[in-house]
Chains A and B, each alone.
Chain A
Amino acid sequence: GNSVTQMEGPVTLSEEAFLTINCTYTATGYPSLFWYVQYPGEGLQLLLKATKADDKGSNKGFEATYRKETTSFHLEKGSVQVSDSAVYFCALSATGNNRKLIWGLGTSLAVNP
């Protein structure tokens, strides 16, 4: 079946450090891929998405590229800020069903000043 695997946290970085959060998936066909962010005490917000191979999603300085050959969708940011401290979730929606989402377990990021 379809699944998403994220690197375990927590991840702790200093401000202005480079961030990578790994996400790999298992799915048939060509799923859409998403990153969501959850700030403390809030609901999840869509951060970025990609719908086909080699697409790059980007938002707020974050980027992720849909790599079909490695079944990956790693989240990156060149210089993190304290305000980026949150939990990040990778998710996929399978081919033909762009609404039911399969979730990773989330990766907690703490950025220290």
Chain B
Amino acid sequence: NAGVTQTPKFQVLKTGQSMTLQCAQDMNHEYMSWYRQDPGMGLRLIHYSVGAGITDQGEVPNGYNVSRSTTEDFPLRLLSAAPSQTSVYFCASSTGGLGAFFGQGTRLTVV
């Protein structure tokens, strides 16, 4: 039972580089989301999707893009990495009132 799988677990980028964080779920959940977690700031919603082909912005969308071509996958793209994007990123999926299921996180450092 894989649940929500995120890759990679760790990544170091240079300022200006781009990359994609991968997220896949095997629970057939409609709703998926990306958060970043920074010390003292809790979880902040970056982007979310309520189903394939539908995405919307969260609290802190600038510098990130998402797409949702299938129910299973919800990649997060960093267009031009900046040191302010150093953070731990979590993908989550959910359905109904069951609460969210989280991936293990990606620890990103931008130098």
Q: Which 9 pairs from chain A and chain B are nearest by CB?
A: A43-B102, A99-B31, A105-B42, A98-B97, A46-B99, A44-B102, A103-B43, A99-B94, A43-B104
Q: Report how far A44 CA is from B99 CA in the complex, Å.
A: 11
Q: Are A42 and B94 in contact (CB under 8 A)?
A: no
Sorting the interface of chain A by its residue count into under 10, 10 to 19, 20 to 34 or 35 or more gives 20 to 34
Residue numbers of A with Cβ under 8 A of B are 32, 34, 36, 42-46, 49, 51, 89, 93, 98-101, 103-106
Q: How many pairs of residues, A versus B, come closer than 8 Å at their CB atoms?
A: 53
Smallest Cβ-Cβ distance to B93: which chain A residue: A99
Q: Are B99 and A49 in contact (CB under 8 A)?
A: yes
Sorting the interface of chain B by its residue count into under 10, 10 to 19, 20 to 34 or 35 or more gives 20 to 34
Q: Could you say which residues of chain B place their CB within 8 Å of the CB of A49?
A: 97, 99
| Interface flag for B96 (CB, 8 Å) | yes
Q: Are B48 and A100 in contact (CB under 8 A)?
A: yes
Interface of chain B, main secondary structure = strand
Q: Report how far A101 CA is from B97 CA in the complex, Å.
A: 11
Smallest Cβ-Cβ distance to B43: which chain A residue: A103
Q: Report how far A56 CA is from B92 CA in the complex, Å.
A: 25
Tell whether A99 pairs with B102 under 8 Å between CB atoms, given A32-B97, A43-B90, A105-B41: no
Q: Are B102 and A51 in contact (CB under 8 A)?
A: no
| Interface flag for B70 (CB, 8 Å) | no
| Interface flag for B108 (CB, 8 Å) | no
